[in-house]
Structure 1
Amino acid sequence: MSVKTLLDPQVKSHFLKLSQAEVVSHLLTVQDGLTKYSENPAIVPPRTKVFTPRGDTMHMFMPVVDDVYCGVKTLGFNASSGLGFVGAITVLDPHTGLPRGVVDAKQVTGIRTALSSHIGLYKVKDKFADISKLHVTVFGTGLQAFWHSFVCAKIFSDKEIQLNVVYRSNKLNDEELLQSCSNVKTVNYVKGNSDQVADLCNNSHVIFGTLPTTDPSIFKRFFKESTHISFTYIGLIGSYQPHMHECDVELVSLFQEQGAKIIVDSKEHSLLEAGELITPGVEPSELIEIGQLESASDVKIEASIGSRSITLSKVVGLAIMDIVSAKKFVEDFE
C-alpha cells in the first residue's frame, strides 16, 4: 500500500470545495474521535518536547494510539527561521503500524480546530431554524478565523451569513471565502478598539474568538438583558496559557452561578491551559467534554442574561483531533 502525502495547498484546496454534507461529515468524524478520547483519555499519551543539542530548535511529538485512530503529530519551532511552528501529521494503520499518510500540519490544524468548536454549535443548530440571516462575529483574521468563518457558512448554507470581523491591523483573506461560500455576501470589518464591538456581540447569533490575547475581548456586559437575539453561541479557541483570557471572568462566572456547563474538548487540558477557566476557579464538574455531548443530552449548557441564553465552548486542542482529521483527508484522496 502506497503512503499518501498531502501538502498544505492540497488540503486547503480540497476542503474549500466540499459541500455542506461533506463538511458535516468531517465534523462528525472529529466528534467521533473526541468521543473516543472522553471514553478513554489514555489514547492520547503525554506529548514530548525536546530541544536539539544546539538548543535553538524545539520539537514536539504528540502521539495517539487507538484501535481506529493512530498516529503522531510533530511540530518544530526555531525562532530565527521565521517559519513559526511547522510540522506534519503521520497517520498509521492501528493494526499493523504501517504508515497510511503524511499530511502537512498547518491547514489541518486550522480546520480541525474550527470543526471542533462547531460541534457544540451543530448540536444546537435548530435554535436558528427560523432565522434566515445569521449574524456571525469573528475576533481575529488569521488561519483560525478564516476556517471558522468557512465552516460556519457551510454548516448554515441555507442561510445568509452576515459576517463581522473584529481585527487589529490586517484584514481577513476574504476573497477565497466569498468565492467558496455564496451565502456570505459581504464582510464587515470593525477595529478591536471600536465602540461598535459591544453592539456587534450583542446582535450576534454566533461569536468566535480566535485571538491569543492576555486581556479579554468579549465581556459579559456586551450582552444586554433586553434583546431581539434569543440565543448566542460563543466558541473560543485563541488562548492556550493560564495568563490568557478571551472573555472576562464575569461571563464564565455566569455559567458557574446558574449551573450551566461550559463545553470543552478536554477537562484536564482546558483547566491547565485556558486562563478564562483557570482564573475564576472552574471545576471539572462545571464542564462537559465535546465527546460527552451525545450521551448527555439532558445536561444544561445554556446560561441566561435576561431573555437571551448563551452557550460557551472552549477548545485548547488535542492530538486526537489532528489524527482524526488527517486520516479523513487521506481517505478523501484515496
Structure 2
Amino acid sequence: MRVISDAQINKLLLPLKARGVEDFQRVLYTALAKYHGDHTLIPERIVVNRPELDAVHFFMPTFSDRVGIKTLGGSKKGFEGAVMIMDENTGILKGVLSARAITGFRTALCSTIPLMKFIDRDARDQVMTVFGNGLQAYWHVKLTLELFPSYFKKVQIAVRSVNDKSKELLDRLQNEYPQVEFPLDDEKEVDLSTSNVIYGCVPSTEPRILFDKLGIDNHKVFISIIGSYKPHMFEVDDKIVQTAMSNGKIIVDSYDHTLHEAGELIKNNVTPQNCVEIGELENLTPADINGGSNLTLSKIVGLAIMDISVGNEILERAEKLDIGTVVEF
C-alpha cells in the first residue's frame, strides 16, 4: 500500500503542461461518462455531525475503475481529508492520498472540460476573472492558462478583502505566469464587462456574479461556479440562471447532487430537463447546450468519483516514479 502526501501529489501535478492536463481530462471524463450512464456508481454519502465534535465528517464511497472512498472533515480551520483506493476485485487497499491538492485539481479539471468546447478559439487577449483566493481559485487559473497559453492577457482576482492569503495567491500566479497581468480587485468593484471566462470559487450566501455586469452583448462568456454547495449559498444571480436555462441547458456534474445542493439552481426551480451532465458533453454541440447564445453556465458541486478516478491516475504515476511511501498493510 502506497501513501502519497500533499507535497508529493503537487510534485506530480504542478509541472503539467497542456498535454498532461488533457490526459487527466480524459481520465476524468471517462469516469463522468460512466457515471452519467449509471448513477449507482456513487452511493449515498454518510455524514457524521455530532454536537460533541468540532468538525462535520463526510464519507463518500464510489466506483470508477477502482473502488474507493473519500473522507472529508470540515471545521473552522477548513476541510481536510484523504482519498483511499482499493483493488476492485479483492478489496486490498492500494493507496492513501492526501485530498487537499486532489480536490482543487479535480474540480478545476472538471470546469475546464466544458471550457474546451465553449472558449472562443478565434479571440486573443481574453480576460479571465476568478472569485476567491484559495486552492480552487489557483487551480482554475493555472489549468486554464496551461490549456490556453496564448489566449489570456489578464486574469482578475476578485476577493472580499485584500489580505495575506490573496497576496500569496497573487505572488504565486505572477511568478508562474509573468506574461499575464494579475490585477487584485475588491469583488464589488471588479469589471466583468470584458471577462470571457469567469470562475466562482467562493462559498457565498449572496450572489457575487451579476448578469447586468456581464459583456455578453459583445462576446462569449463562459461561467463555471464551484463554491456554492448548500441550498442557502449563491454565486450567480437569478438572471444568469434564468437566461442560461431559457437559452438552452445548464451544465452540471450530476443531476442528483447538483439540483439538491446548489442554491442558485434550487431557488430557480431548475430540473434535470434544464441540464446536461458533463459526462454526456462528448456527443453534444455548443448549440445543443447554449442555443447559440453568448452565455454558458456550468455548476459543479463535486463528486467522489472525480477524486477516485483522478486519484487512481496519480497513484499509478506515483508507482511508476516510485513517489510516496510503501508500507505493509
TM-score by length of 2: 0.89
Which moved further from structure 2: 245-254 or 216-225? 216-225
Give 1:92 deviation, angstroms.
1.3
Say which of 62, 65, 70 aligns to 2:67.
Answer: 70
Which amino acid is 1:174 matched to? L
The change in CA–CA distance for 1:246 and 1:11 in structure 2 (over 3 A counts) is same
Say which of 44, 47, 51 aligns to 2:45.
Answer: 47
Which moved further from structure 2: 163-172 or 285-294? 163-172
Which amino acid is 1:91 matched to? I
Which amino acid is 1:268 matched to? D
Aligned to 1:203: 194
The change in CA–CA distance for 1:96 and 1:158 in structure 2 (over 3 A counts) is farther
Aligned counterparts of 2:223 and 2:58: Cα–Cα separation in 1:
30
Say which of 151, 162, 185 aligns to 2:180.
Answer: 185
Which moved further from structure 2: 12-21 or 239-248? 12-21
Say which of 289, 296, 307 aligns to 2:277.
Answer: 289
Which amino acid is 1:329 matched to? I
Alignment partner of 2:199: what SS? strand
Aligned counterparts of 2:8 and 2:58: Cα–Cα separation in 1:
24
Aligned to 1:104: 98
Contact 1:266 1:289 in 2 (8 A): yes
1:278 partnered with 2:266:
yes
Alignment partner of 1:102: what SS? strand
The change in CA–CA distance for 1:180 and 1:27 in structure 2 (over 3 A counts) is farther
Aligned to 1:240: 229
Please give the per-residue CA displacement for 1:61-110, whole angstroms capped at 9, x wherever unaligned.
100134x132001122455xxx4321110111212222221110111111
Give 1:164 deviation, angstroms.
0.6
Aligned to 1:36: 34
Aligned counterparts of 2:138 and 2:2: Cα–Cα separation in 1:
26
Which amino acid is 1:310 matched to? L
1:253 partnered with 2:242:
yes
Give 1:287 deviation, angstroms.
0.2
Aligned to 2:158: 166
1:323 partnered with 2:308:
yes
Q: Which has the higher contact order (CA 8 A, sep 6+)?
A: 2
Aligned to 2:85: 91
Contact 2:118 2:286 in 1 (8 A): no
Contact 1:153 1:161 in 2 (8 A): no
Give 1:181 deviation, angstroms.
3.8
Aligned counterparts of 1:95 and 1:137: Cα–Cα separation in 2:
44
Determine what percentage of the aligned residue pairs are the same residue.
Answer: 36
Please give the per-residue CA displacement for 1:229-251, whole angstroms capped at 9, x wherever unaligned.
2x111000010111111111111
Aligned counterparts of 1:226 and 1:290: Cα–Cα separation in 2:
26
Aligned counterparts of 1:56 and 1:98: Cα–Cα separation in 2:
32
Alignment partner of 2:288: what SS? coil
Say which of 14, 18, 21 aligns to 2:19.
Answer: 21
Q: Which runs of 5+ in 2 are unaligned?
A: 320-329
Aligned counterparts of 1:50 and 1:146: Cα–Cα separation in 2:
30
Give 1:116 deviation, angstroms.
0.6
Give 1:50 deviation, angstroms.
2.3
1:216 partnered with 2:215:
no
Contact 2:84 2:93 in 1 (8 A): yes
Alignment partner of 1:62: what SS? strand
Please give the per-residue CA displacement for 1:255-289, whole angstroms capped at 9, x wherever unaligned.
2323x000000011111111111111111100000
Aligned counterparts of 1:147 and 1:164: Cα–Cα separation in 2:
14
The change in CA–CA distance for 1:298 and 1:14 in structure 2 (over 3 A counts) is closer
The change in CA–CA distance for 1:95 and 1:178 in structure 2 (over 3 A counts) is farther
Give 1:53 deviation, angstroms.
9.5
The change in CA–CA distance for 1:134 and 1:41 in structure 2 (over 3 A counts) is same
Aligned to 2:171: 175
Alignment partner of 2:279: what SS? helix
Give 1:315 deviation, angstroms.
0.1
RMSD of the alignment, in Å? 2.0
Please give the per-residue CA displacement for 1:191-230, whole angstroms capped at 9, x wherever unaligned.
1222xx2xx3221110001111111011111125642x2x
Give 1:55 deviation, angstroms.
4.2
TM-score by length of 1: 0.88
State how 1:290-309 maps to structure 2 within 5 Å: 290-297=278-285, 300-302=288-290, 309=294
The change in CA–CA distance for 1:162 and 1:270 in structure 2 (over 3 A counts) is same
The change in CA–CA distance for 1:51 and 1:255 in structure 2 (over 3 A counts) is closer
